[in-house]
Amino acid sequence: MIPPTGPATFVLVHGAWGGGWVWRRVADRLRAEGHRVFAPTLTGLGARSHLCSAAVNLTTHVMDVANLVRWEDLDGFVLCGHSYGGAVITGVAERIAAIVYLDAFIPANGQAMVDIAPRRPAPGTTTPPPAGALFRVDERDRAWVDAKSTPQPNGTFTERLAVTGAYQRIAKRVFIRASGYDAPHFRRYYEACKATPGWATYEIAAGHMVMLDAPDELTQILRSSL
């Protein structure tokens, strides 16, 4: 792993029902400072919702990010995953300078999202997005978030993740909790990380969509993770 010098590279991974669009405000701020930013949209969601199918699972999304890393020749970058994106980045823990969990899940080896998330998948092949109000999205953004959100392939919730715990060996590990949403499952991850040596932990007074509610504060923490 090559540590970043000068402008850094950030890979920002969205959560369930989202897309790269959720990172626009943070990505604009980081790029304005000269950093290189990738905010991929995972297969079957957002701008790639035309690819949604029963074949899309967690491995698909892990490979979305892993292949971005491979084909863009990324090294020594900051990898940040929001919510469900925490499961994705846990499976991509390689060649990374810092890993950031943003109000996110951290599945253990053999766990699926259905084992650790309170929301159950809907019958069929996809689960429709909940209203932004559920995640305490700011009222000014709710209609926009609701219009952009797309159904999530259920395979991403039910496939069990095979990991070696490589993320725990990354030198810089960060967990950010959205205190304005205060979900018990994310609070437990935050408290566990806070009690574990080697983790930096932060709280931001925002709803679950921290990148929309508090882009300046989040950008500052991402920069400080280098």
Rounded to an integer, what distance in angstroms lies between the CA atom of residue 1 and that of residue 146?
39
Catalytic residue among 53, 83, 149, 224: 83
User: Which helix (H) or strand (E) is 38 found in, with range?
Assistant: strand 36-38
CA dist 8 and 36 (Å) reads: 6
Residue ranges of the alpha helices (H) in 123-175? 139-148, 155-158
Tokens for 149?
Answer: 């959100």
Residue 49 appears among annotated catalytic residues: no
Q: What is the CA 35 to chain-centroid distance, rounded? A: 19
Closest residue by Cα to residue 75 from 167, 9, 169: 9
Instruction: Provide the annotated active-site residues.
Output: 83
